[in-house]
Amino acid sequence: MNRRVYLAFVTLVLLIGAVLRAADIGRMADMVHYDEAYYAVDALSLLEQPRLNPFFLDNFGRESLWMYALTPALAVFGAGAFALRVTAFFAGMLTLATTGLLARVLSGRRVAIWTVAALGVLFWHVLMSHLAFRALLYPLIGALAWASLIIAWRTNRTSHWLIAGAAFGALGYTYFAARGWVALGLLVGMSGALRSGERRRGLLIAGMMGVGIGAPLIFYLLATPASAERLDQVAISHGQMLIDNLGVWLNVWVGHGADDPVFNLPGRPLLDAPLAVLAVVGIAAAVFVPVQRRRGMIYHAPTTARNASSLQERLLALALIFALLAVSIAPAVLTTEPLKWLRGIGVVVPLALILGAGAAALATMFGGMIYHAPTKESVREKIRWAGIIPAGLIAWAAVNSARDFQTWVTSPDLYVPMERALYTGIEQVADQLPGGSPVYFAPFTPDHPVLRFRAWRLGEHPVGAFKSVDCLPLTDGGADYFVIDAFEPDLPAHLAAWGEMRLLGSTREVPLPSSLIHLTPDALPADGWVYFGGVIAARALDLPESAGRGEVIRVDVALRRIGQVERAYTAFLHTYPAEETRLLTQVDDPLCLSYPPNAWRSDETIIETYSLTLPDQAGTYRVALGIYDSETQERLPLSDGSDVATIGTIQVGDK
């Protein structure tokens, strides 16, 4: 196949892949997954403070290359979902190109076209190309690294060795599962050095380049034990788990796929019917290497290429494909959740190579009939139609992927994991509340990445977030509350108990109805406050005068920040006999885990509710309040040197 025809066909199949990867991006305009937003927040920090950072330790630890990849789109399009989607789109398209390059150097141009076409319609990769996860770079750079290594091996040029080394060095910065490909590359390089003395210098150059690029990450991982905590958490602990996980993976190819609604259409297998046919033919063509014939139905293996014509090179290429397949599956089967699609994303490259080989084999077998054609004209006609069967299967798979993706993107199951409620809530607040009044989001936390990612939309609004199970923040001059009703059904009534409440708007058309509420709180008593450590003031609000023996009473405590708070604190309530210091009952609760004291503003009062169990014996008891450092257990002192304050007395008896 000449270069011009090759480029024309590759362009065509790339366009098909682009259409599938661009489809329905508009439907995802208000969808940003928690992890996607975390990547974006880190990328924004790189724009605000440019620096070289090999690893981001937050959110279980993440290699940094994806964050750098996000920065151009964020700089151009701003901090929104579209910037993430367009980056994912181009990462997916570049993966088609690099996988096609790998197929071409392994098996020639004809197989490369079919490989790009197969990967272009593979639902797994179509879906992933809509999601802005760092794992997308793993197959992209991985395919480039292996193609570069093969090219360097054949040409033995220094420039090619440098490119190969750089690609493998960069591969380590993509995703933790890519380390298997890096290790395989090192093993292949060492084996090659033993086999070919004339290439040892080039392999050494590539190795030095790879180590040089990967050194910052290597040193960081060695110096930071916490970076490996996530791997320790998800690793399997015994051999039976490995056997079970392998059994699960045997079923996902054409049986039952992952049920995760974010990374798959729940239950959809990796391969639909047309791609399953191509995979079977591709494996058969790889395992049963046919003898090249001049005439006949089958005349050469689809994995044979002009640059790898010997049987030995052909077998090495097949060994590489299956080695990549095994190494790609390993991170999934060696973890406690084997059907986490991200962990096995590298599979798409060797799978595409197998599918491409299968499509080329079908075209070859169909075209083999032309050798019995009586005339040159009929020969040309049959050559023209030789690819009709595999092309039909590819088209069938494209239709399936387009249909299944539309089903996926419109599924209500995505509403929660793709944080649509919070994203649309931010938009609602930005559109309906143009002023600068404080606004709270419930049930969330101030460090929620979607809230941080979209904070710019809220302009001058002071922003907070909380879960009512932890606390209730009130602002002196009043505030607005965006509430997800399904998760906070009692919050409106709880707010109404503390002041004048007005419903500003509500949404009922989506799976998670929401409300926008304004609260003007009643004034709290000015006296009775106690001050702990010069940082937090506290006051009990509704301690009852009497209760039954052993009864659990509700105690609301108001808290305010009065100084610089940098640590997490826990408050406790104790009961003592009226004239004694003998502790009888107690309750300890961290100060608002979802909205911790270091996030409180000076104009806020935080209401904490405690459930205190009273003593079983009748009598008069003191109720005392104290606060201590959650980490060191050290109590905050009062001005008189004590560390507990009596907030009232209660008469316990029969009711």
Most confident of 161-165, 282-286, 457-461, 646-650: 161-165
Tell me, what's the pLDDT at 367? 63
**In 172-238, alpha helices (H):** 179-195, 200-223, 229-234
- 593 and 470 share a domain? no
The residue ranking higher by pLDDT, 311 or 59, is: 59
Give the model confidence (pLDDT) of 535-591 as tens digits. 999 999 988 899 999 999 999 999 999 988 989 999 999 999 988 889 999 999 999
**Which CATH number characterizes residue 643's domain?**
2.60.40.2550
- 67 and 149 share a domain? yes
Sequence-separated (6 or more) residues with CB below 8 Å from residue 609:
471, 472, 554, 555, 556, 557
- How far is 293 from 368, CA to CA, in rounded Å? 10
Tell me, what's the pLDDT at 655? 64
Domain boundary among 521, 555, 588: 521
- How far is 299 from 309, CA to CA, in rounded Å? 14
- What DSSP element (H or E) covers 383? helix 376-384
**What is the count of structural domains for the chain?**
3
Q: In the chain, pLDDT over 90 holds for what percent of residues?
A: 80
- 636 and 543 share a domain? yes
**In 49-136, alpha helices (H):** 65-77, 81-107, 109-121, 123-128
Q: In the chain, pLDDT over 70 holds for what percent of residues?
A: 93
Residue 429 lies in a domain: no
- 475 and 388 share a domain? no
Mean pLDDT, residues 376-397? 75
Mean pLDDT, residues 383-401? 88
One-letter amino acid of 147: A
Is residue 606 a contact partner of residue 539, using CB atoms and an 8 Å limit?
Answer: no
Residue 419 lies in a domain: no
Cα angle value 551/557/560 (rounded, 5°) = 165
Q: In the chain, what is the straight-line distance between the N-terminal and C-terminal CA atoms, in Å?
A: 95
Give the model confidence (pLDDT) of 212-251 as tens digits. 999 999 999 999 988 887 787 888 888 899 999 999 999 9
Give the 3-state secondary structure of 278-313.
Answer: HHHHHHHHHHCCCCCCCCCCCCCCCCCECCECCHHH
Q: What is the DSSP letter of 526?
A: S
Residue 428 lies in a domain: no
Give bridge partners of residue 521 from the DSSP assignment. 499
Tell me, what's the pLDDT at 313? 73
Tell me, what's the pLDDT at 229? 79
- How far is 418 from 184, CA to CA, in rounded Å? 35
Residue 430 lies in a domain: no
The residue ranking higher by pLDDT, 592 or 380, is: 592
Weakest mean pLDDT among 88-97, 222-231, 352-361: 222-231
- How far is 464 from 429, CA to CA, in rounded Å? 13
Tell me, what's the pLDDT at 297? 36
Sequence-separated (6 or more) residues with CB below 8 Å from residue 423:
30, 31, 32, 81, 450, 454
Give the model confidence (pLDDT) of 484-539 as tens digits. 999 999 999 999 999 999 999 988 766 789 999 999 999 998 888 999 999 999 99
Tell me, what's the pLDDT at 646? 93
Mean pLDDT, residues 381-391? 73
Residue 427 lies in a domain: no
- 262 and 290 share a domain? yes
Residue 433 lies in a domain: no
- 234 and 284 share a domain? yes
Within 10 A of 213 (CB to CB), how many other CB atoms are there?
A: 18
- 487 and 379 share a domain? no
At 306, is the pLDDT very low, low, confident or very high (cuts 50, 70, 90)? very low
Tell me, what's the pLDDT at 654? 79
- What DSSP element (H or E) covers 407? helix 388-409
Tokens of 577: 């006999």
Mean pLDDT, residues 626-643? 93
Ramachandran class of 533: left when φ > 0, alpha when ψ lies in -120 to 50, beta otherwise: left
Give the model confidence (pLDDT) of 365-381 as tens digits. 776 544 444 545 554 55
| Mean pLDDT value across the chain | 91
Give the model confidence (pLDDT) of 154-187 as tens digits. 999 999 999 999 999 999 999 999 999 999 999 9
Sequence-separated (6 or more) residues with CB below 8 Å from residue 64:
42, 53, 54, 55, 56, 173
Mean pLDDT, residues 403-413? 96
Tell me, what's the pLDDT at 383? 52
Tell me, what's the pLDDT at 301? 41
Please tell me the chain's helix, strand, coil percentages from 3-state DSSP, rounded to the nearest 5. 50, 15, 30
- How far is 584 from 616, CA to CA, in rounded Å? 9
- 467 and 598 share a domain? no
Is residue 569 a contact partner of residue 628, using CB atoms and an 8 Å limit?
Answer: yes
Read off the pTM: 0.91
- How far is 23 from 120, CA to CA, in rounded Å? 13
- What is the SS3 assignment for 632? coil
pLDDT above 70: residue 96 = yes
CA 29 to chain centre: 17
Give the model confidence (pLDDT) of 41-77 as tens digits. 999 999 999 999 999 999 989 999 999 999 999 999 9
Cα–Cα nearest to 164, from 175, 148, 180? 148
Within 10 A of 157 (CB to CB), how many other CB atoms are there?
A: 12
pLDDT above 50: residue 411 = yes
Domain boundary among 489, 504, 521: 521
- 513 and 584 share a domain? no
Tell me, what's the pLDDT at 466? 97
One-letter amino acid of 427: E
- How far is 453 from 92, CA to CA, in rounded Å? 23
Q: How many residues does the chain have?
A: 655
Tell me, what's the pLDDT at 299? 36
Residue 553 lies in a domain: yes
- 454 and 344 share a domain? no
- 449 and 507 share a domain? yes
pLDDT above 50: residue 294 = no
- 40 and 141 share a domain? yes
Tell me, what's the pLDDT at 300? 40
Tell me, what's the pLDDT at 291? 41
Cα–Cα nearest to 342, from 327, 329, 351? 329
- CA distances (Å), origin 180, targets 138, 165, 244, 330: 11, 16, 21, 8
Query: Residue 541: which domain range?
Result: 530-653
pLDDT above 90: residue 270 = yes
